[in-house]
Amino acid sequence: LSDALLIALDAMGGDYAPQEIVRGAIRFVLSDHPDATGVEVALVGDPEAISTCLKAEGFEASSRLSLISATEVIAMDEHPLEAIKKKPDSSIGVCAKLVKEGRAQATLSAGNTGACLVAGVMLIGRLPQISRPPIATYIPRQGGGATLIVDAGANVDCQPSHLADFALLGSLYMQEVAGIARPRVALLSNGEEDAKGDELVKRSRSLLQELGLNFTGNIEGNTLFEDHADVVVCDGFAGNVLLKTAEGMAGLCLSLLEDVPEVQRRVRERVDWAECGGAPLLGIDGVSVIAHGRSNARAIETALQITARAARSGYVEAARTALEGRSA
C-alpha cells in the first residue's frame, strides 16, 4: 500500500467543532473523490466528544476513520506560543507531533491559526534556511483557476530575504501540487511599473529576479483576480489586508444579491472561497493545512482533499531538496 496516507485532523478546532469537523471527515471518507482514495483520517481530540459525534451520525471508528486522544484544547483567542507551551497534549500539538514522528503524513486544523503556525514551526520544524514559514492561500480568478497568495498573514515586518523565500516556496508548491511547470510569480505592489513599491518591495525585486523563477514583476490588487500570476508574493500584513478586503467586498456584493437567491448562491460558490478551502503552511518539514475557523462539514471535506493532494505531491521533499542545494 505505497499510497496509504494518514491525515491527523484536529477534531476540536473551529467554531463548529467537534460536530462539523467529524461530519466533514465522514463525508470525506465516504466520498468517491479521487483525492480521498486510499486516505485515512485520524480524528484527534477528546475521545468521548468525538465518539458521541460519530454515534450521532450512525458511524463507528474504523481504519479509515480512527480516533487519537488529545486531552487539551487551545481556544481560538489563546496566545499561540503560550498555549502550545502550556498545553502539551492539545489537539493541535498532538496532530503536529504525529506528523513529526511520521505516524501521520499531514495535519489539518480549523482551530487557532497562530497556534497551528507555532506548532508547525516548533513541533514539526522548519525546512533548512527558512526562518519564517509563510501561510499560503488561494484566491479565485475570473474564468476559473486560482492564484496562491504567500504570505497570507503569518509574518509581518518582513525583510526582502523572507519575500524571496515566500516566492521560492510558493513556486514549488504550485509546481508540485497544481502541476504548473513554470509558475508565474508576481510581487504585490502599489503599481505595475518597476519603480513602484515601498522600501520592502523595491529591495525585494532584485532578489526575486535572481532566484531563477518565472518572475513576472509587480502586480496590483485590481488585476489579482484575473489570469496574470500563479503566485503573488507579499508581506503578511499586506497579505492579510488583501485577503480580508476581498472577503469584505465579496460580502458587500453578496448582500446586494439577497433578493435573487439563486444568483447569490452561484456567486457565493465562486467568491466565498475563504470559508471552504485550506491554507497550507509552507516552509515547514511536513504538510500542515489550516482551515477557516467557520468551517462547516463541507469546508472540512474540501480542506481534507487539499491536504491529501499536498501530502501526495511530495512538495515538501522538493522544497527540502531545493533549499539544501541553495548556497546559504
**To 10 degrees, what angle do helices 199-209 and 160-177 make?**
50
The 10 Å CB-count burial string (b at 16+, else e) for 245-284 is: ebbeebeeebeeeeeeeeebeebbeebbbbbbbbbbbbbb
Q: Answer left, alpha or beta for residue 157, where phi above 0 means left and psi between -120 and 50 means alpha.
A: left
Query: Residues interacting with its own copies, by CB under 8 A?
Result: 140-142, 153, 156-157, 188, 190-191, 197-199, 201, 220-226, 234-238, 240-253, 255-257, 260, 263, 266-267, 270-271
Helix (H, G, I), strand (E, B) or coil at 114: helix
Tell me how far, at minimum, the Cβ of 261 lies from its own copies, in Å: 12
Tell me how far, at minimum, the Cβ of 199 lies from its own copies, in Å: 5
State which residue, 40 or 220, has the beta carbon closest to its own copies: 220
State which residue, 215 or 273, has the beta carbon closest to its own copies: 273
State which residue, 70 or 139, has the beta carbon closest to its own copies: 139
State which residue, 128 or 160, has the beta carbon closest to its own copies: 160
Tell me how far, at minimum, the Cβ of 273 lies from its own copies, in Å: 11
Tell me how far, at minimum, the Cβ of 173 lies from its own copies, in Å: 22
Cα distance between residue 227 and residue 141, in whole Å: 6
For 321, the grid coordinates are: 531538496
Tell me how far, at minimum, the Cβ of 158 lies from its own copies, in Å: 9
Other Cβ atoms less than 10 A from the Cβ of 130: the count is 22
State which residue, 181 or 195, has the beta carbon closest to its own copies: 195
